[in-house]
């Protein structure tokens, strides 16, 4: 739990993912499209992965991955990210972290 809490308070956009998860891949593509490079933690490649999975579920994520945090606050999983984006609320949150090269 500590590791997850510490990682989520990192500045910017944080994405908890699994390298084998294609839905996580879709979220990564979306961020790429929006000019954001999130800090990605592949929990299936982390020795504390199981713990982190449980911690994420306890934070309220129905599926442990993908889990998106922006500026330390939990945004949610794919559902929440998509809803936020279609509602126009995602881009304002991402603005400080966008970088269009």
Considering the complex, state which of residue 40 and residue 82 has its C-beta at the smaller distance from another protein.
82
Q: Which one among 79, 95, 96, 98 touches another protein, defined by CB under 8 A?
A: 79
Sheet holding 67-70, edge to edge: 39-42, 13-17, 67-70, 73-76
Instruction: Name the pairing type of β-strands 73-76 and 67-70.
Output: antiparallel
Per CB under 8 A, the segment of 36-44, 53-61, 75-83, 92-100 that binds another protein is 75-83
Q: Is residue 19 involved in binding another protein (CB under 8 A)?
A: no
Q: For another protein, what does the binding mask look like between residues 24 and 63, x meaning CB under 8 A? A: -xxx-xx--xx----------------------------x
For helices 78-86 and 22-33, give the axis angle rounded to 10 degrees.
30
Per-residue tokens: 95: 């603005």
């Amino acid at each position: 739990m500590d590791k997850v809490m510490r990682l989520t308070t990192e500045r910017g956009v944080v994405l908890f993912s699994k390298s084998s998860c294609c839905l996580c891949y879709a979220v990564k593509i979306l961020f790429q499209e929006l000019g954001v490079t999130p800090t990605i933690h592949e929990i299936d490649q982390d020795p504390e992965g199981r713990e982190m999975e449980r911690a994420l579920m306890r934070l309220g994520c129905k599926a442990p991955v993908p889990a998106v945090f922006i500026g330390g606050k939990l945004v949610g999983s794919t559902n929440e990210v998509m809803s936020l984006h279609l509602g126009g609320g995602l881009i304002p949150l991402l603005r400080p972290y966008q970088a269009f090269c």
